[in-house]
Amino acid sequence: MKDRLLPVLSNQKMNAYLKEIADTCGIDKNLTFHIARHTFATTVTLNNDIPIETVSKMLGHTNLRTTQHYAKILDLKVSKDMMTLKKNYQKNPRIVNSTQLHFL
């Protein structure tokens, strides 16, 4: 075991641990390792402004495209990022010219 909370021997064993945790916590959902990774990637990291490059490293992906496919970026995140861009532009209009932001 290297720096792991639970000893993980296989995907099947990890899913058994997640089922046991769900039962103990009264969670009426089928938790799997795949769902846990997806939830971590989207809800825990991307929705909390962690850059996708960092998420990719956390998940052990060697190709960013894998992360982009695995951890879909939600419309809410895109909207939030566009608002950040608009605020940054309003503070410093020189970052881009006005024709590049005509859609804002």
Listed by start position, the domains of the chain span 74-104
Specify the DSSP class assigned to residue 45. Answer: I
pLDDT digits (tens, 9 = 90+) for 17-45: 899 999 999 999 999 998 888 889 888 98
How far is C-alpha 102 from the geometric centre of its chain's CA atoms?
A: 30
pTM above 0.85? no
